[in-house]
Amino acid sequence: MTKPIIEVKNLAKSFGKNDVLKDITEQVNPGQVIVVIGPSGGGKSTFLRCLNLLETPNSGEVDFDGQNLTTLDTKKVNELREQMGMVFQGFNLFPNMTVLENIKLAPMKVKGMDDAAATKRAHELLDQVNLDDHADAFPSNLSGGQAQRVAIARALAMDPKVMLFDEPTSALDPEMVGEVLNVMQELANQGMTMVVVTHEMGFAKSVADRVWFMADGYIQENNTPDEFFSNPQTDRAKDFLSKILM
Amino acid sequence: MKKKLILLLALVLTVVTGFTALSSTTANAATDNSLTKVEKKGTLVMGTSPDYPPYEFQATVHGKSKIVGMDVAVGKKIAKDMGVKLVVKSMSFDSLLVALQTGKVDMVISGMNPTPARKKNVDFTHTYYQGGYSIVINKSDKGIYKDKDSFVGKTIGAQTGSTMYNESKKQTSGTTVKGMTSVSDLILALQSHKIQGVAMEKPSAQAYVANNKELAAIPSKFDLSASDTSASVAFAKGSDALVAKANKSVDQIKNQNLVNKDYLPAAGKYLKTNTVNTSMLHYWKAFLTGIEYTLIITVCSVFFGFIMGVILALARMGQGGVVRTGLRWLATAYVEFIRGTPMMVQVMFVYFGLGLIVNLPALTSGIIAISLNSGAYVAEYIRGGINSVDDGQTEAARSLGMSSGATMRFVVLPQALKNIWPSLGNEFITLIKDSSIVSIIGVSELIFQSNIVRSDTYRGVAPIAVIMVLYFVLTFTASRILNYFERRMQHD
Ligand SMILES: Nc1ncnc2c1ncn2[C@@H]1O[C@H](COP(=O)(O)OP(=O)(O)O)[C@@H](O)[C@H]1O
Ligand SMILES: [Mg+2]
């Protein structure tokens, strides 16, 4: 039996009186693609951000590669974060740097990679997301789809073991959604472990190994995509699906 | 304005005296070796306010600006008799006694009268020169004014902090007495009819009249004690050995009538050569020095102020933990305090106050004070700049494994700086102008140099016009350069 790469145990997180995550216990195995879906405000982003400790959980554990992140010191957490790439809804590219510099920054400053090696690696990654001709562009000159692909390349530059995606296509014009999903699908095909928050049901159906349905601070259902979409168990999920599949 | 200056000086003096009282044991211990100390360092530092010809004034000697006059000759003799070298330091008249008490200078020779009030704070030698007072008026008014009593309903001027100022107030009635720091300002006020007369010592009056055809001197008829018209050398309180040694030189000067025989005629010669060429072009070197110092002060202060600003801004934004909270509190208090006190007081405090602990040169003190001041303002800009950077930037950097420090340095600060570049540019331009404040502690920046040129040439307006243009050229050039960089940063 494979050892899970991420194990979440009794995770809880609240903002003041707002209990966003109540009690979550799940695990992600290496190479798995998990799609997290659920109503807006249900805590999906918060959950994802707890995985790499951008948010500090109130209680419970997040184990990554066998280490409990919540007990580690800041330096160790920084090191483990390198291994969890994150892609945001709003891209969050560094606007004052070129595409190439965006990708090179962390490998050089965190891993101490030299400029030549980082540049070479950046070009490879840009090639992978079909954007090598935009290496010297500034983010403001990219379309949303291009920017998000650069953001993916930037996260990949740290050679992460896991990629976290928080609604990567929600801010895109419809005609650009495809190009980003294609890149993600390729990544999944290469065996990358991924946790993806998305409303793209097509992507969930064709790429996900498991679908987690999240609402009211709990993972309400954990199922295969086929089962989940054809035969949801909870009323909460049925209600949700009926609304978005109209 | 001048009144304010006096108030500020009184404040600084109080603080300084407080310090002195605290360190009085050391001061007493120094009493006996005051002379040995001077002999050991090999220099005798004389403080003077060089805008009072023929006592002391700036002259161009071999193309270099130099302080000359009969007081400098007196200082030279005293130093020579002690077997040490004389160093002349110039500063405003009001600052002289503070400088003496804080050890910035060893002695003050500046046509200073040994009044009882001053004797409380410093020790004086015997008199080296016995003068009297005249009142300088516009020649066209010669028929109207005869002596101090003819100015009822009018205004006469005198150098702030001087004996003439106090006596003019005491011994006239119905006359307004206006104080200004420099005699050349007073002469300018006289010529532009803001005031009708200027009370000053006789030799000075004679020098001004001799060099300006539109002026005339009348007797003052002040009723004065000998101490009010005599000039002595001042030393720090309790330096008996120095005073005794200097008295020997002073007595010789008096007995041999050296002032009238040698010193005054020599000073008069400088005055003559000095006023031959009063065109502003002739003084380009003085102005160049001014520009140089103004730029040195500004650039250094902007640099250090910026570093301080970053540190303060980060400290102010620190969160959590006792240490961070403490630092945040300290930084906030510092910023509020600096922004709530005048830069002029800060400059004087650094020079005279900190000067008690470490003897800093005026230029260094000025740069420190202005950097400390600028840091507080820059901190606020930077804080605003950092807050203006989207949180997503920090999250992206942290998710890539960058530490909070690296995130700040490589991601947030560069963007924050870009956002606040215009404010920082404004700060730079403000500092070019505000650096003029250090002229009060004798740093030879533009304002200071223009004052020298004014007292040198007896021309009041021209040097002001020149530095106005120079300041504008500096600020305009700076703002063009800053704009250029601002445009270059606009690639997103
Ligand atoms: N930093 C925060 N401070 C306070 N409340 C927050 C914060 N982040 C999220 N929340 C709240 O937590 C809840 C869940 O938000 P989120 O995790 O963004 O949900 P989702 O991504 O599923 O839409 C919302 O009610 C939101 O207002
Ligand atoms: Mg969300």
Q: Is the pLDDT of residue B39 over 70?
A: yes
How much is the pLDDT for B459? 63
Of B404, B406, B415, the CB nearest to A95: B415
Closest chain B C-alpha to A84 CA, distance in angstroms = 7
Beta-bridge mates of residue A196: A35, A165
What is the distance between the alpha carbons of residues B43 and A116, in angstroms, rounded to a whole number?
60
Does residue A43 have its Cβ closer than 6 Å to ligand 1? yes
Q: Residue B172 — φ and ψ, nearest 5°?
A: -120, 155
How much is the pLDDT for B491? 57
Q: Which residue of B has its CA nearest to A136?
A: B491
What is the distance between the alpha carbons of residues B436 and B13, in angstroms, rounded to a whole number?
22
Q: Which of B194-198, B234-238, B276-280 has the lowest mean pLDDT?
A: B276-280
Residues with CB under 5 A from ligand 2 (ion): A 45
- Position of tokens 């014009």? A173
Q: Which residue of B has its CA nearest to A104?
A: B400
How much is the pLDDT for B276? 53
Whether the pTM exceeds 0.95: the reply is no
Q: Is the pLDDT of residue A113 over 70?
A: yes
**Strand B215-219 with B133-138, pairing:** antiparallel
Which has more pLDDT, B13 or B320?
Answer: B320
How much is the pLDDT for B24? 42
Q: Angle of helix B2-22 relative to helix B24-32, nearest 10 degrees? A: 80
Length of chain B: 492
Of A74, A106, A139, the CB nearest to B400: A106
- On the 0-12 / 13-18 / 19+ scale of CB atoms within 10 A, B225 is exposed
Strands (DSSP E) found in chain A: 6-15, 18-28, 33-37, 59-64, 67-68, 84-87, 162-166, 193-197, 210-215, 218-223
Kindly indicate the confidence band of residue A88, based on its pLDDT and cuts at 50, 70 and 90.
very high
Q: Is the pLDDT of residue B22 over 80?
A: no
- Position of tokens 């001004």? B208
Distance between Cα A49 and ligand 1 center (Å): 11
What is the distance between the alpha carbons of residues A30 and A33, in angstroms, rounded to a whole number?
9
Q: Is the pLDDT of residue B2 over 60?
A: no
How much is the pLDDT for B70? 92
- The 10s digit of each residue's pLDDT in B334-350 is 999 999 999 989 988 88
Chain B interface, Cβ < 8 Å to A: 390, 392-393, 395-404, 406, 410-411, 414-415, 418, 489, 491-492
